[in-house]
Amino acid sequence: MSQKLAAVKGMNDLLPEEIGIWQHVEAAAREIFSRYGYAEVRTPVLEDTSLFERSVGEATDIVGKEMYTFHDKAGRSVSLRPEGTAPAVRAYVEHAVAQKEPLTRWYYIGPMFRYERMKTGRYRQFHQIGVEAFGAKEPAQDVEVMEMVVHFLNALELSGVALHLNSLGDEACRPEHQKRLVAYLSAHREELCPDCQTRLERNPLRVLDCKNESCRAIAQGAPKVQDSLCEACRQHLAEVRRRLDLLGVRYELDPSMVRGLDYYTRTAFEFVADDPALGTASAVGGGGRYDRLVRELGGPDVPAVGVALGLDRICLLLGAAGKRFGVRPDLFVAFVDVQAQDEAMRLSSALRRAGLRVELDTRGGSLKSQMKRADKSGARFALVLGEKELADRAGELRPMAGGEPRRVAFSELSAVLRRA
């Protein structure tokens, strides 16, 4: 026997029994985001490696350790996208969108790739629903993005997701914070892991999201960026908070949250669920403001803010909450012989054209096995066709959940099923 093949480690198949939840979540995102004026964008899964080095940052775990990077046949270094913001900014700049409109609202849904250690809720191919708003520096835009996510989570009836909020400062106040941070971390240099000793030189903020136990303990006592915020950043944060309150969005200030990507300025936030369904993972989503990134990637001076939600994690939470989604057939048509099968196919085809979901077993077989199949399909009704039904052009419509069958003329079936 030839050897069985399996999917690449950390990359999952989604079989039809699971897909209902995914389609439900994606449909809710499309519906709700469009209510706020966001339009869908689709970018390639492969980008030049330098895009992520210049945006997410070379010293981050994502770029430094987790990217799927290789050389294509022309020798270019390309990477499977580990996140969606940098590609969205690349597309925004490449298509000179800023020249066409002053305010741009995009969303995307798709696979991302990070070579992480796999666990429940942490995969190497995972999926994000992301949102990016370009052109508004105002705190109102940060609030719109956060409130929209809260709306979306409410629509999915996912309670128990907390919003954590912080400000990471901007180019005016970050150098001061960096100085204090470097002084503090240098005093603890020997206790830091070798990676963090390098980070201390290259990008000290990244020490604060190291997963190593002893680095985490040191990070706890590190100076907080909140204590170094300049007046403009302080005001921005105060206005974000005022407007969140105004809209009744609950949040907690989390001065130790720094996010794992380099491009953020000012507002940073995460949606966190403390739910066993996620294993040791807890972030359902994260985002923030990135006012310098468009310029740094060769575009005009356009501020932006966005968020990405982990679709896999949202589906885990919904699955654990016992929610089931998926489409059920309206009708299962069974038949006793070849003549009845001809009519079953004709009738099914007409009903499908009228917009109904109709299944039959193309293999035929005994009535008993067809009815078993009807049961498994989850159909709402079944109809058995035999000699008498063909002659009368009518049959018994049987509710699969139990109850009295009723006699219905073929010509009435579509209307009756629609009302039922």
- Pick from 176, 99, 71, 86: which is nearest to 128 by CA? 86
Which lies closer to ligand HAM via its Cβ, residue 41 or residue 284? 284
CB of 132 to ligand HAM, least distance (A): 5
Assess 286 for contact with ligand HAM (CB under 6 A): yes
139, 287, 303, 329: residue in contact with ligand HAM (rule CB under 6 A): 287
How many residues in the chain? Answer: 420
Among the listed residues 308, 317, 333, 413, the single contact to ligand HAM using CB under 6 A: 308
Residue appearing with tokens 């190593």: 212
Using CA atoms, how far apart are residues 25 and 314, in angstroms rounded to an integer?
A: 8
Binding string to ligand HAM for residues 236 to 265, with x set by CB under 6 A, is what? ------------------------xx----
DSSP H or E stretch at residue 256: none
| Residue 306 binds to ligand HAM (criterion: CB under 6 A) | yes
For 39, the 3-state DSSP assignment is strand
Residue 398 binds ligand HAM (CB under 6 A): no
Burial of 335 (0-12, 13-18, 19+ CB in 10 A): buried
Q: Which is nearer to ligand HAM, 114 or 177 (CB)?
A: 114
- Report the 3 state secondary structure along 130-175: EEEEECCCCHHHHHHHHHHHHHHHHHCCCCCEEEEEEECCCCCCHH
Stretch that binds ligand HAM, among 11-19, 191-199, 282-290, 405-413 (CB under 6 A): 282-290
Minimum distance between the CB of residue 158 and ligand HAM, rounded to whole angstroms? 13
**303 contacts ligand HAM (rule: CB under 6 A):** no
Q: Which stretch binds ligand HAM (CB under 6 A): 113-121, 325-333, 361-369, 403-411?
A: 113-121
Rg (CA), the chain: 27
Three-state DSSP state, 264: coil
Distance of closest approach, residue 125 Cβ to ligand HAM, in angstroms: 8
Place of tokens 């390309």: 78
Integer CA distances (angstroms), 377 to 156, 171, 230, in order: 25, 59, 62
Contact stretch for ligand HAM (CB under 6 A) within 24-32, 124-132, 206-214, 380-388: 124-132
Alpha helices in 270-332 (DSSP H): 293-296, 311-320
CA distance 371 to 308: 45
Pick from 21, 67, 233, 284 the residue near ligand HAM by CB under 6 A. Answer: 284
Q: Does 113 bind ligand HAM (CB under 6 A)?
A: no
DSSP tag of 36: T
- Kindly state the smallest distance separating residue 87's Cβ from ligand HAM, in Å: 9
Give the whole-angstrom CA distance, residue 72 versus residue 305.
32
Three state DSSP letters for 322-345: CCCCCCCCCEEEEECCHHHHHHHH
> In terms of CB distance, is 158 or 384 closer to ligand HAM?
158
Asked if 188 is part of the footprint of ligand HAM (rule: CB under 6 A), the reply reads no
Per CB under 6 A, the segment of 125-133, 293-301, 355-363, 409-417 that binds ligand HAM is 125-133
Token reading at 350: 């007409």
Q: Does 64 bind ligand HAM (CB under 6 A)?
A: no
The one among 54, 105, 114, 206 contacting ligand HAM by CB under 6 A = 114
81 binds ligand HAM (CB under 6 A): no
What phi, psi does 224 have (nearest 5°)? -90, 140
Q: Which is nearer to ligand HAM, 90 or 373 (CB)?
A: 90
Minimum CB–partner distance for residue 93 and ligand HAM (Å): 15
Minimum CB–partner distance for residue 153 and ligand HAM (Å)? 12
Report whether 235 contacts 127 (CB < 8 A).
no
Q: Which of 123, 269, 335, 381 binds ligand HAM (CB under 6 A)?
A: 123
Give yes or no for a contact between 416 and 410, defined as CB atoms under 8 angstroms apart.
Answer: no
**Binding residue (CB under 6 A) for ligand HAM from 106, 126, 134, 381:** 126
Whole-angstrom distance, CA of residue 38 vs CA of residue 334 = 46
Which one among 85, 226, 348, 414 touches ligand HAM, defined by CB under 6 A?
85
- Note the residues at the interface with ligand HAM (CB under 6 A): 83-85, 114, 116, 121-123, 126, 128, 130, 132, 260-261, 283-288, 306-308, 310, 312-313
